[in-house]
Chains A and B, each alone.
Chain A
């Protein structure tokens, strides 16, 4: 009897300690959240204050309330060039298509060059050279080639995403553990099986980590392309607003863009989790 009370006592202690730890963790998270909100309120609030008191010129700096109102008008009444969602969809489509094409090309080329010394020796210098070129200068030429529509934006986005994914895939393929490759070969893998069971899964960590950056670049490609010449898209909206000295419109476009990229980042993170289960279960 004595020992059983002891046991239940230690059990009570354990649950108490567990609860304490858990509430500590929750408190920590809550504190971070509150601080984050405070920072946001501070920045946005002082911006609003400075602007409404005319300490800064609202014509050049706009104000949070005006921006929100502007977005609301866009959502409710549509923009001067058609409903907002159309622009949003166009930009999103351009981004996703160039992201997908760039990623596939990057992975395939990275794999080929990573596995084949001759190919990488031949093409290496050219790829480095192309990558050194500031891609934005390609935008006008793409617009000449592909017109004002989607293809020119996609082409620009692809040139931006391709190199990031390519270099990561290339490195990932190169870094594959020699022993694992040898082991698979000894177990009887042919080249195709080797790619599927060893090289691609191993390079996937590298490739996936590049997707965050490359999605951002796909968006940049789309927006910059729209900036230079387009009839639709968020970039087009911003450039229109800028053309009529509508600072609030520019800011409203920027807010929408950051929401888009946040959304994209979240999606990529989800994707990453799905693909590298074996790593996330490790921790």
Chain B
């Protein structure tokens, strides 16, 4: 019996097992009126190791909900989520997340913020601080170790948030409109830095944004979602632009413009639908 099982057992092929695998995922909420509100309907999505994948879609379609499901903050109503081949239950241990609003802890200094993840896993303070210093320098905040977040600018706080996630060397980096609150210049600087750090790691990134240009400039792949309710995946585009990229310049690349045109055609209808629902 043992041998039989051994024979039938096929080792998972790491290259083909997706890091994130959403299988027929549906998410529903009960409205205060008692009706069921279907946010996501039958989502199938596989994201590979080291892939940079953006999700765009009209406001309120369920992008953040998708991210919450992958992070394990909430469980799907139907379907299942596999992370690296195993069923996700509870909090996703291999993910880190940069939220749209601040995710720095205002009562902790920069270095305490960045080293928090390591400290929570029981690392000694001196060791955690040493690694934290490295990452603080990596995101360009050297000299601000002992500042509280309230004394930093919005862009600097985003860097702290990024370092806080990256120090954990997560397999999955989740970003929910992380840069949308930044001004245009800070934003493109941060985008370039994100890319250069990501290129050194093998993390898979799920990047949610309202901004199609940002999505194309950064990603290997752009997913377009339909307008809610019962949102699902409408389009899945591969972005084969050359790397390393400069996000500020790539926007003028003819290839970029072609892709933008193509995806925007898809997205526009959904935005219109979503807009019509509001009025």
Q: A-side interface residues toward B, CB under 8 Å?
A: 177, 179-180, 182-190, 193, 197-198, 201-202, 204, 276-279, 281-282
Does A187 contact B107, Cβ atoms closer than 8 Å?
A: no
Does A180 contact B121, Cβ atoms closer than 8 Å?
A: no
Inside 8 A of A201's CB, which chain B residues have their CB? Answer: 105, 107
> Which of B71, B102, B103, B168 counts the most chain A CB atoms within 10 A?
B103
Whole-angstrom CA separation of A50 from B91 in the bound complex: 74
B107 to chain A minimum Cβ distance, whole angstroms, is 4
The answer to the question of B218 belonging to the interface, with a C-beta cut-off of 8 Å to chain A, is no
Inside 8 A of B97's CB, which chain A residues have their CB? Answer: 182-183, 186
Inside 8 A of A204's CB, which chain B residues have their CB? Answer: 107
Inside 8 A of A189's CB, which chain B residues have their CB? Answer: 120
Compute the total of residue contacts between A and B using a CB distance below 8 Å.
65
Does B151 contact A282, Cβ atoms closer than 8 Å?
A: yes
* CB < 8 Å neighbour of A278 from B93, B120, B150, B168: B150
Does A278 contact B103, Cβ atoms closer than 8 Å?
A: no
Inside 8 A of B164's CB, which chain A residues have their CB? Answer: 183, 187
B225 to chain A minimum Cβ distance, whole angstroms, is 22
Inside 8 A of B101's CB, which chain A residues have their CB? Answer: 177, 179
* CB < 8 Å neighbour of A179 from B93, B103, B150: B103
Does B117 contact A182, Cβ atoms closer than 8 Å?
A: no
The answer to the question of B251 belonging to the interface, with a C-beta cut-off of 8 Å to chain A, is no
Inside 8 A of B71's CB, which chain A residues have their CB? Answer: 182, 186
14 contacts between A and B (CB under 8 A): A180-B105, A183-B103, A183-B164, A185-B91, A186-B95, A187-B116, A187-B168, A188-B117, A188-B121, A197-B105, A201-B107, A281-B148, A282-B150, A282-B151
B9 to chain A minimum Cβ distance, whole angstroms, is 31
Given A179-B101, A186-B71, A186-B91, A281:B107 Cβ within 8 A: no
Q: Known pairs A183-B99, A184-B120, A278-B109; list 20 more (Cβ under 8 Å).
A: A177-B101, A180-B105, A182-B97, A184-B116, A185-B73, A186-B91, A186-B96, A187-B117, A188-B117, A188-B121, A188-B168, A197-B108, A197-B120, A201-B105, A202-B107, A204-B107, A278-B150, A281-B148, A281-B151, A282-B151
A189 to chain B minimum Cβ distance, whole angstroms, is 5
Whole-angstrom CA separation of A204 from B105 in the bound complex: 13
For the residues of A in contact with B, the DSSP-based class is helix
The answer to the question of B106 belonging to the interface, with a C-beta cut-off of 8 Å to chain A, is yes
Inside 8 A of B95's CB, which chain A residues have their CB? Answer: 186
Residue of B nearest to A181 (CB): B73
Whole-angstrom CA separation of A277 from B146 in the bound complex: 12
Does A186 contact B92, Cβ atoms closer than 8 Å?
A: yes
Does B105 contact A188, Cβ atoms closer than 8 Å?
A: no
Residue of A nearest to B103 (CB): A183
Number of interface residues of B (CB under 8 A): 26
Does B121 contact A278, Cβ atoms closer than 8 Å?
A: no
B75 to chain A minimum Cβ distance, whole angstroms, is 14
> Which of A193, A197, A278, A279 counts the most chain B CB atoms within 10 A?
A278
Given A182-B97, A187-B117, A278:B91 Cβ within 8 A: no
Inside 8 A of A183's CB, which chain B residues have their CB? Answer: 97, 99, 103, 164
B197 to chain A minimum Cβ distance, whole angstroms, is 18
Inside 8 A of B108's CB, which chain A residues have their CB? Answer: 197, 278
A168 to chain B minimum Cβ distance, whole angstroms, is 17
Does B105 contact A182, Cβ atoms closer than 8 Å?
A: no
A209 to chain B minimum Cβ distance, whole angstroms, is 15
* CB < 8 Å neighbour of B96 from A179, A187, A198: A187
Q: Which of B163-214 contact A (CB under 8 A)?
A: 164, 168
Inside 8 A of B168's CB, which chain A residues have their CB? Answer: 187-188
Does A179 contact B99, Cβ atoms closer than 8 Å?
A: yes
* CB < 8 Å neighbour of B148 from A182, A188, A198, A278: A278
Does A278 contact B106, Cβ atoms closer than 8 Å?
A: yes
Whole-angstrom CA separation of A193 from B96 in the bound complex: 17
Q: Which of B96-137 contact A (CB under 8 A)?
A: 96-97, 99, 101-103, 105-109, 116-117, 120-121
Whole-angstrom CA separation of A51 from B151 in the bound complex: 56
Whole-angstrom CA separation of A202 from B105 in the bound complex: 9
Whole-angstrom CA separation of A279 from B107 in the bound complex: 8
Given A186-B92, A189-B120, A281-B148, A198:B105 Cβ within 8 A: yes
Residue of B nearest to A275 (CB): B107
A159 to chain B minimum Cβ distance, whole angstroms, is 31
A192 to chain B minimum Cβ distance, whole angstroms, is 10
Whole-angstrom CA separation of A187 from B102 in the bound complex: 15
Inside 8 A of A190's CB, which chain B residues have their CB? Answer: 120
Inside 8 A of B93's CB, which chain A residues have their CB? Answer: 188
A206 to chain B minimum Cβ distance, whole angstroms, is 13
Whole-angstrom CA separation of A198 from B121 in the bound complex: 16
Inside 8 A of A180's CB, which chain B residues have their CB? Answer: 103, 105
Inside 8 A of A202's CB, which chain B residues have their CB? Answer: 107
Inside 8 A of B103's CB, which chain A residues have their CB? Answer: 179-180, 183
